[in-house]
Amino acid sequence: MSHQNEILFEIQDGVAFITLNRPDVLNSFHRPMAKAFQETLNACAENTEIRAVNVTGAGRAFCAGQDLAEAVPAQGPAPEIEDIVRESYNPIVTKIRQLEKPVICAVNGVAAGAGANIALACDIVIASEKASFLQAFCHIGLIPDSGGTWFLPRLIGLPRATAQMMLGEKVPAAEALEMGMIYKVVPAEELAEVSSKLARHLAKQPTKGLGLTKRALNASFDNDLLQQLEVEEKLQGEASHSHDYLEGVKAFQEKRKPEFKGS
Shortest distance, CB of residue 11 to ligand T3D, whole angstroms?
28
Shortest distance, CB of residue 144 to ligand T3D, whole angstroms?
8
DSSP 212: H
Tell me the β-bridge partners of 28: none
Please state, as a whole number, how many other Cβ atoms lie within 10 Å of the Cβ of residue 228. Answer: 16
E-only strand ranges, 58-174: 61-63, 103-107, 110-112, 124-128, 132-134, 171-172
Given a contact cutoff of 8 angstroms between Cβ atoms, the answer to whether 165 and 148 are in contact is yes
Question: Is 67 or 123 the residue whose CB approaches ligand T3D more closely?
Answer: 67
Shortest distance, CB of residue 121 to ligand T3D, whole angstroms?
13
**Interface residue list for ligand T3D (CB under 6 A):** 25-26, 28, 64-69, 71, 81, 84-85, 110, 112-114, 134, 136-137, 140, 142, 145
Question: Is 8 or 85 the residue whose CB approaches ligand T3D more closely?
Answer: 85
Residues 116 and 126: their CA atoms lie apart, in Å, by 13
Question: Is 148 or 209 the residue whose CB approaches ligand T3D more closely?
Answer: 148
Given a contact cutoff of 8 angstroms between Cβ atoms, the answer to whether 154 and 217 are in contact is no
Shortest distance, CB of residue 39 to ligand T3D, whole angstroms?
20
Question: Is 59 or 153 the residue whose CB approaches ligand T3D more closely?
Answer: 59
Residues 14 and 76: their CA atoms lie apart, in Å, by 44
Question: Is 102 or 144 the residue whose CB approaches ligand T3D more closely?
Answer: 144
